[in-house]
Chains A and B, each alone.
Chain A
């Protein structure tokens, strides 16, 4: 008899405690809910945001979302090895080599319009993902170099091939310390 009462009592007490703590935990999880950074956003933060579409997606964010859903992580050509490594670190996988279909040359470039050749067709303006081209119909176009991501997308649509990609010049301002690469002049 007493054993039965004790058992019931124990179950009752423990059950009540479970309910109370459950309620506290439930309340806390709602009250102190932390908005986690979804994987796609984290990947997007790593991508170089050139919006070039070389990965086969219309922009960096769509590719980030695709990566979060299991797409291969080695399709970002402008980001190159560094970006792949960073995404691999984030996803906890081995960094694969860059997709073979891509150009391995990811040195920074900026588009330039040879202005005397431009016929003012506005095709490049429509192609530019970051609105970095200025101009209107039958007027010469020009590229705002500071806004250009070097994505290459304006080169293809140009009917007169007046857009060229120029590598960004090395200046003392953007020079990377590399004493092995100093242009050495032979003194006599």
Chain B
């Protein structure tokens, strides 16, 4: 480590592989101070402005909020709260387009400022050294600070690291060609930044603090060197200008010579990196009790008359900032959020500034042409290899591109796609103008989605297996229970107590009853041998009823569907059930079955009767009528309930009737339910079917009960 420091002191740094030197455009904004812009008419605050999860909303529409008041809250470490940037009223909570390359909408708070800019109560902390580390971390967490360099990682997580820290690196490289927000911030607010660095020093207690800054910011370097002159602990490291020096892994390599391995966090090497703007926000939060509600944004590009760095409240629509800076290109708006290398085009100028927004770029058409107005101009890869020469992560961009196009995910992972920092250097140098980074981003999101799906599939599999096991277990348990109950009954009945005796005699009586009934039936059966049936009149009536129901249904269907009958089947008068309006094959089959049944029953019919069954039949008709009537409207449920009750009643009644009669009713029911259920696909039919099915099962139950007794 000593040699590292000596090397740094000599100004002898390491370098990273590749990198590019895009034309500098910082001069557009570096000659002007940071300007404070007025409060816009409306602020749009996305609930989530960082990597992680959104907090829980604490306010509702119509609430008055004060400047700095927390609007969301969460105990989750990956959630950071958002705060009201000014005092005003919550005018809406709705989805709006957020600062995201997808152009999709997410939940946003809309605040209408009241113009008073009235603060909530603040507690200024004069000496942060009196606070404990936990208090400091709490203050950082409740101020809603997330990394302000671009990625937006929650800062409280990065200051709660338990590992021993060798190097705290402050990232002031700012390597994107247009952005000068950090540069200006350092020039104008170096004391606050230094306070922030000291707070981080307190919390993390690193062996050394290195401030990495590119040599193209001479004024900021001078200011920082003056501010840290008396402190041996802090080293201002002026590094050569090269894009992407500001990448975390790249800056670590330049300053310490250590390469962060793939898939490893820098903290495990004893290194933590914070952005310089984050340091300023930390100082503001801890000392002045000002949460993260504003930031410096570079508003630049040749389409602007007055490009400048501005203090923008979070939630300010970028259109408002552009207007303030003299946006000239009204007709063909092409706005980029972030720098030209890593930024993304915005679909609308109502996208708000968020915690990670360091730049809003409005280039002229000559400067950067809009991806919407022109094609990408991509031509075939000529395998020149320039992309791999400039890749700071030492990947093989052209191989990655081929694999990405072929969607060869295992190969992509083998080529370490996830080490790509999407810096865009490869696409910048590509003579074929292949939008390489775009391919990588697509591939990355596909792989991520696939992994999610795999996890979900595995989970589903586990649950499926668990369910299967549970069902098997339940079945065994049920069988055992039944067995045990039977055993217990046997034992009880043989125990010889008076109770057992009565039970026994009751069973015996029941058995005798059943026997008697059976004998009677056989008698009846014998008397009508010619007809081979027990209750012929009943059967006839029922067949007629079922035919009528089927007929009605068919008619109704025909009326409903208005489909010309493809093939109308008219049968003899008694059983012309099947006027078949539907093309559905199933329906035809069902109808045919019903028809056959009806005919069979009619043929068998005879004058012998069991009067009791009439009731049953009546009920049947009532039910089906009920069902038919009710199906159209919302009351279907009520009707179903009524029908169910009827069914129960019917079941009770049929209890009294002979077994065989029941059987017939049951058969008929099944036929009806088949006729009803099959042809129609709509809601009504389903309800009707359920009702009839329920009825049928009830009857079946009754029957089995009767039989068992």
Q: A residues within 8 A CB of B457? A: 47-49
Q: A residues within 8 A CB of B637? A: 117, 119, 160
Instruction: With both chains docked as a complex, state the minimum distance between the C-beta of A112 and any C-beta of chain B, in angstroms.
Output: 17
Q: A residues within 8 A CB of B438? A: 177, 179
Q: Indicate if the CB atoms of B449 and A129 lie closer than 8 Å.
A: no
Instruction: With both chains docked as a complex, state the minimum distance between the C-beta of A116 and any C-beta of chain B, in angstroms.
Output: 10
Q: A residues within 8 A CB of B636? A: 160
Q: B residues within 8 A CB of A60? A: 461, 464
Question: Can you list, as one digit per residue, whether each of B648-690 has a CB less than 8 Å from chain A (1) or not (0)?
Answer: 0000000000000000000000000000000000010011001
- Within 8 Å of chain B (Cβ to Cβ): is A187? yes
CB-contacts of A152-188 with B (<8 A) = 159-161, 170-172, 174-179, 182-185, 187
Which of A117, A129, A179 has the most chain B CB within a 10 Å cutoff? A179
- With A47-B457, A147-B463, A160-B687 given, can you name 20 additional A-B contacts, CB distance below 8 Å? A49-B457, A49-B461, A51-B460, A59-B464, A60-B461, A60-B464, A117-B637, A130-B460, A130-B464, A147-B460, A159-B687, A160-B640, A161-B683, A172-B100, A175-B104, A175-B445, A177-B438, A185-B97, A185-B103, A185-B348
Q: Indicate if the CB atoms of B466 and A131 lie closer than 8 Å.
A: yes
Given A49-B464, A160-B687, A187-B348, verify A177-B100 contact (CB < 8 Å): no
Q: Indicate if the CB atoms of B372 and A184 lie closer than 8 Å.
A: yes
- Within 8 Å of chain A (Cβ to Cβ): is B132? no
Q: B residues within 8 A CB of A175? A: 100, 102, 104, 445
State which of B333, B371, B449 has its C-beta within 8 Å of the C-beta of A187.
B333
- The answer for the CA separation of A115 and B349 in the assembled complex, in Å, is 40
**18 intermolecular pairs with C-beta atoms under 8 Å apart:** A49-B457, A49-B464, A50-B460, A51-B460, A61-B464, A119-B637, A131-B467, A147-B460, A160-B683, A161-B686, A170-B102, A174-B452, A175-B102, A179-B438, A183-B104, A184-B372, A185-B103, A185-B347
- Within 8 Å of chain B (Cβ to Cβ): is A54? no
Q: Indicate if the CB atoms of A184 and B445 lie closer than 8 Å.
A: no
Instruction: With both chains docked as a complex, state the minimum distance between the C-beta of A114 and any C-beta of chain B, in angstroms.
Output: 12
Chain A residue at smallest Cβ distance from B466: A131
Instruction: With both chains docked as a complex, state the minimum distance between the C-beta of B351 and any C-beta of chain A, in angstroms.
Output: 10
- Within 8 Å of chain B (Cβ to Cβ): is A149? yes
Given A160-B687, A183-B347, verify A172-B106 contact (CB < 8 Å): yes
- The answer for the CA separation of A48 and B461 in the assembled complex, in Å, is 9
Q: Indicate if the CB atoms of B102 and A182 lie closer than 8 Å.
A: yes
Q: Indicate if the CB atoms of A183 and B463 lie closer than 8 Å.
A: no
Q: Indicate if the CB atoms of B463 and A130 lie closer than 8 Å.
A: yes
Q: A residues within 8 A CB of B101? A: 177, 179, 182
Size bracket, chain A contacts? 20 to 34
Listed from nearest, the 4 A-B pairs whose CB atoms lie closest are: A49-B457, A159-B690, A130-B463, A177-B441
Instruction: With both chains docked as a complex, state the minimum distance between the C-beta of A84 and any C-beta of chain B, in angstroms.
Output: 14
Q: A residues within 8 A CB of B683? A: 160-161
Q: A residues within 8 A CB of B604? A: none
Chain A residue at smallest Cβ distance from B332: A187
Q: B residues within 8 A CB of A176? A: 442, 445-446, 449
Q: A residues within 8 A CB of B106? A: 171-172
Q: A residues within 8 A CB of B452? A: 174
- Within 8 Å of chain A (Cβ to Cβ): is B492? no
- Within 8 Å of chain A (Cβ to Cβ): is B378? no
- Within 8 Å of chain A (Cβ to Cβ): is B161? no
- The answer for the CA separation of A60 and B456 in the assembled complex, in Å, is 14
- Within 8 Å of chain A (Cβ to Cβ): is B458? yes
Q: A residues within 8 A CB of B686? A: 159, 161
Q: B residues within 8 A CB of A149? A: 456, 460
- The answer for the CA separation of A178 and B102 in the assembled complex, in Å, is 8
- The answer for the CA separation of A178 and B453 in the assembled complex, in Å, is 19
Instruction: With both chains docked as a complex, state the minimum distance between the C-beta of B180 and any C-beta of chain A, in angstroms.
Output: 26
- The answer for the CA separation of A9 and B658 in the assembled complex, in Å, is 96
Q: Indicate if the CB atoms of B349 and A187 lie closer than 8 Å.
A: yes
Chain B residue at smallest Cβ distance from A121: B690
- The answer for the CA separation of A144 and B499 in the assembled complex, in Å, is 50
- The answer for the CA separation of A172 and B50 in the assembled complex, in Å, is 12
- Within 8 Å of chain A (Cβ to Cβ): is B98? yes
- Within 8 Å of chain A (Cβ to Cβ): is B646? no
- The answer for the CA separation of A59 and B469 in the assembled complex, in Å, is 14
Given A179-B371, A179-B438, verify A172-B461 contact (CB < 8 Å): no
Given A49-B460, A176-B446, A177-B444, verify A159-B103 contact (CB < 8 Å): no
- The answer for the CA separation of A51 and B461 in the assembled complex, in Å, is 8
Instruction: With both chains docked as a complex, state the minimum distance between the C-beta of B553 and any C-beta of chain A, in angstroms.
Output: 18
Which of B101, B102, B371, B452 has the most chain A CB within a 10 Å cutoff? B102
Which of A50, A61, A161, A182 has the most chain B CB within a 10 Å cutoff? A182
Instruction: With both chains docked as a complex, state the minimum distance between the C-beta of B681 and any C-beta of chain A, in angstroms.
Output: 11
State which of A48, A129, A131, A183 has its C-beta within 8 Å of the C-beta of B103.
A183
Q: Indicate if the CB atoms of A48 and B453 lie closer than 8 Å.
A: yes
Instruction: With both chains docked as a complex, state the minimum distance between the C-beta of A57 and any C-beta of chain B, in angstroms.
Output: 12
Q: Indicate if the CB atoms of B444 and A182 lie closer than 8 Å.
A: no
State which of B104, B372, B442, B458 has its C-beta within 8 Å of the C-beta of A170.
B104
Chain A residue at smallest Cβ distance from B470: A131
- The answer for the CA separation of A183 and B640 in the assembled complex, in Å, is 47
Q: A residues within 8 A CB of B456? A: 49, 149
Q: A residues within 8 A CB of B444? A: 177
Q: B residues within 8 A CB of A174? A: 449, 452
- The answer for the CA separation of A174 and B104 in the assembled complex, in Å, is 11
- The answer for the CA separation of A44 and B457 in the assembled complex, in Å, is 10
Q: Indicate if the CB atoms of A51 and B103 lie closer than 8 Å.
A: no
- The answer for the CA separation of A176 and B683 in the assembled complex, in Å, is 37
CB-contacts of A23-58 with B (<8 A) = 44, 47-51
Q: Indicate if the CB atoms of B460 and A172 lie closer than 8 Å.
A: no
Q: A residues within 8 A CB of B441? A: 177
Chain B residue at smallest Cβ distance from A130: B463
Given A159-B686, A178-B442, A187-B349, verify A131-B102 contact (CB < 8 Å): no
